[in-house]
Every structure is written in C-alpha cells, then in structure tokens.
Amino acid sequence: MADRVVSYLPAETIAARVAELGAAITKAGPSAQPIVVICVLKGSVIFFADLVRHINLPINLVFLGVASYGGATESSGAVRLTHDITIDIQGRDVLIVEDIVDTGLTMSYLLETLGSRHPRSIRVCTLLHKPARKRVDVPVDYIGFTIDDVFVVGYGLDFDELYRNLPFIGRMERA
C-alpha cells in the first residue's frame, strides 16, 4: 500500500492567507532601499512566488539553500548551507521567507549566519509554524498558519523531493 496525502489546508485558504501576509508586510512600511526578500530553497519557492506578488514595496529577490531533513520526516538537527545569497545585505532590511518553522534549528542558523553580515534588520515570514516540535526559540514576525504536529507536504513542502507541486497542503499518511 502506498503513502497517501489527505487535504489539510486547501489552496483557497492558503491563497487568502498569503494575500493577508503580503498586505501586512507592505503595511510595515518602506525601507530606505528595496527590502531584500530571501527565499529559503526549495520548500519556500511556491509560497515565496505567491507572497512577493502581494508585497507592494520595492524588493530585491534572492535565494538561499539549506538542508536539514534529507529523506526523513524529521529534522536531522544538522543544518548546512547549500546555496548562499548573491547580494550584500549589510545595512539592508531583510525578510527571510520560510516554508515551515518547527524545531527552530534552521531558522536559528539562518538568523545567526545572516546576522553576521550586519543587515539593518531581519524579519521572518513563515507559511507554517509547528510549535510542538520547537527545540530553539526564534523570532517569527509573520505566520501563515500554526499547525498541529503532523507531517505535511504540498505547496512547496516535500517528502523525499516529492509532492512539492500539490496546490494545497496535505497531511501525509504513511502506509
């Protein structure tokens, strides 16, 4: 019997919330320079693409890759940079866009790594927040949805590089 995915957050619900997040980020105000909006690859790419279209401010789009899961359903705890940003963020306002904050380990690593580059400010926007898995406290400025302790896929989130293309977020049920 194969794994199956059961709808957890429908596409329409996600779209409405992403628009609200974009409006909140816009309302937070303009910066002296374009805001550097960082997409954490690969899981955030779909959320990121939808979100930036709702931010009515000058922005620079950049990409950063990290790995902490591999083929597992839980973070390994070891975070590594797989693709660095290609823009100088010193003195700039930065917004990190993440798919999910659960243990906090990846975000803690990103905040420390990017903070060492002396940005003016760093804010965090996550589509999903899973506090039941928290191991490290990290500041999150914008949260799409707080979810239960379930393994989810779709809308960019994956299991072993599969299911990212689903238009909704689904709960993975293992066979």
Read off the amino acid at residue 73.
Answer: T
Strands (E), 19-168: 35-41, 59-67, 80-83, 93-101, 121-129, 142-146, 152-153
- What are 51's two structure tokens? 């979100």
The predicted-structure confidence for 92-124, as pLDDT tens digits, reads as follows: 999 999 999 999 999 999 999 999 999 999 999
- The mean of the pLDDT values for the chain is 92
Rounded Cα distance, 115 and 149, in Å: 29
Nearest 5°: CA angle at 139, between 161 and 77?
40
- What are 76's two structure tokens? 């390994």
**What pLDDT, on a 0 to 100 scale, did the predictor assign at position 1?**
40
Query: β-strand 169-173 against 4-9: which pairing, if any?
Result: antiparallel
The predicted-structure confidence for 41-100, as pLDDT tens digits, reads as follows: 999 999 999 999 999 999 999 999 998 755 545 555 678 889 999 999 999 999 999 999
Helix (H, G, I), strand (E, B) or coil at 31: coil
Catalytic residue among 102, 141, 158, 160: 102
Read off the amino acid at residue 28.
Answer: A
Rounded Cα distance, 32 and 119, in Å: 13
Is 88 a residue of the active site? no
Rounded Cα distance, 29 and 60, in Å: 15
Through-space distance between the first and last CA atoms of the chain, rounded to whole angstroms? 6
Read off the amino acid at residue 90.
Answer: Q
Q: From the options 3.30.460.10, 3.40.50.720, 3.30.70.870, 3.40.50.2020, give the CATH code of 4-173.
A: 3.40.50.2020
pTM for the model: 0.92
pLDDT at 6 over 80: yes
- What are 78's two structure tokens? 């070891």
**173 in Cβ contact with 6 (< 8 Å):** yes
